[in-house]
Structure 1
């Protein structure tokens, strides 16, 4: 029996690559996005069905699930990939921007899970795959709200993994590192233009932005991450977390093999924080 996956945020980047990966592996794919773009359908019209889904609009979630089932007969896995970010100074970030990030990255994920869970429960099986990030277990400056949303989904997913196991529903976490081959970074930069930088932070912000441009780790690409999403969907074990990319693997090693004090100092050095502090001394 051919399996079917529904993926949010499929128009570009990791979502796009993941849709192609599943289709190439013989799965049916319900590729969802806020505005339907038929490029994916054109690549594989037999396997890929494109429909609209905005995770901040519950009616579109229900409609996309229904449309996917109508097209392919069932849904076996859901990949929560849609997400947004902003680079900003914490104290200067407007509350409406903060709420927008949480609406998409946290409440949107929750809405999709709540919509699909009754279907999976009645079906007797299903897999929920949530895309977080290596900042879901580490943190970066200037990304405090994005980091907070990813930490929230990490905790939510671990708790749900126990709860939904009782209904034969699996929960998986994919933790990619930075994927500079996607347009996520450029979208983040664009969104950040709307947030002003207080003069007191200007020197720090400029320094840390320059440090980000010289990222100290080898990045993943979306295809490596898509491979991990597919592996998670096919893994019947109780494994929860799947690292994706060299930088994710390295930051996980640093996080979990060092003392807290050593880890924090290591990250200060790698992220450029120590260099800025030394410059101010």
Structure 2
């Protein structure tokens, strides 16, 4: 019998690539999209059932979980991929924007996870994969709220992994580096930014590589995380910039790494940092800011 995975946020990017990867590996997939217009995105793949879900609607999660279970009669894994990216100086960012950032990336993710926990606990098996971000490892300027939300995802995953271990349920956090996905065309930029911030913003973006890894890079890591028999590992890194971070921190130590990163973020990386942390993949970013 084919195993079944639920993947949220699959209209494009890493979510769509993840659906394609698991279907190609013989899994049945329940894929979610937020807009009715995207319900046909996986059309033609008999292994995929596409359902509507707005992860911001916490009250919809329990009913969605039952609907997902009814598609193929079981669920073996859940990938919480749906996300939202807000950027800009915190001073200029409205509290509504920050609330939305956490609503999608944290509270919505937790609500969907909670909806599936009773099922996984009863069947004494299951894998939950939450998509965090490289920004969870070090806070980038002008993305502080986003980074905080993704750090919450990573530590939530670690805590939940210990809670669910006795029930045979495994929890992972994926830490992707910079990727060439449509998230960069969906940035919610802070408005009314004081002109005094402009030099810093320009310096940061001038220092930020305009390339990233393709979505299938992280889809492959997600697949590895789901099938990995090692049950206690939580963090999985994806992309050349992300996979280099643990080793760079080991070599430099946390404080020196932080100092090196601060310099790199404003366009002054040392030769050592450039060696330890390579530029992301070769694909151009889709970024409109």
What TM-score comes out, normalization by structure 1 length? 0.90
The residue aligned with 2:275 is none
Q: Distance in 2 between matches of 1:31 and 1:156?
A: 23
Alignment-derived partner of residue 252 in structure 1? 246
For structure 2, which runs of at least 5 residues remain unmatched after alignment?
A: 270-289
- Relative to its length, the structure with more helix (as a share) is 1
Residue 78 of structure 1: SS of its match in structure 2? strand
Question: Structure 2: how far apart are the matches of 1:43 and 1:255?
Answer: 45
Q: Structure 1 residues 73, 97: CA separation in 2 closer, same or farther (over 3 Å shift)?
A: same
Q: Matched residues in 2 for 1:185 and 1:18: separation?
A: 19
Aligned-residue RMSD, C-alpha: 1.7
Measure the CA separation in 2 of the matches of 1:266 and 1:178. 18
Instruction: Give TM-score scaled by structure 2 length.
Output: 0.87
Give the secondary-structure state (helix, strand or coil) at the position aligned to 1:171. strand
Partner Cα separation in structure 2 for residue 168 and residue 231 of structure 1: 18
| Aligned-partner Cα distance in 1 for 2:54–2:250 | 36
Q: Is the 8 A contact 2:120 2:126 kept in 1?
A: yes
Structure 1 residue 220 and structure 2 residue 213: aligned?
A: yes
Please give the residue correspondences for 1:5-24 in structure 2 after superposition, counting only pairs within 5 Å.
5-24=5-24
1:202 maps to 198
The aligned counterpart of 2:39 is 38
Gaps of 5+ in 1: 276-281
Structure 2 contact 33–39 (Cα < 8 Å) conserved: no
C-alpha distance in 2, partners of 1:111/1:20?
A: 25
Preserved contact between residue 83 and residue 104 of structure 1 (Cα < 8 Å)? yes
Q: What does the per-residue CA deviation read over 1:182-206, in whole Å, with 9 as the maximum and x for residues that have no partner?
A: 1011212xx21x5221122122122
User: For residues 244 and 206 of structure 1, what CA distance do their matches in structure 2 show?
Assistant: 27
Answer whether contact 2:65 2:112 (CA < 8 A) is retained.
no
- Kept in 1: contact 2:5–2:76 (CA 8 A): yes
Contact 2:39 2:52 in 1 (8 A): no
Q: Per-residue CA shift, 1:73-102, capped at 9, x if unaligned?
A: 101100001111112001111000000000
**What's 2:58 paired with?**
58
Q: How many residues of Structure 1 are paired with residues of Structure 2 in the alignment?
A: 267
Q: How does 1:122-271 map to 2 (within 5 A)?
A: 122-180=122-180, 182-188=181-187, 191-192=188-189, 194-212=190-208, 214=209, 219-238=212-231, 239-271=233-265
SS of the residue aligned with 1:166?
Answer: helix
Name 1:98's counterpart in structure 2. 98
Query: Is 1:8–1:79's contact at 8 Å kept on the other side of the alignment?
Result: yes
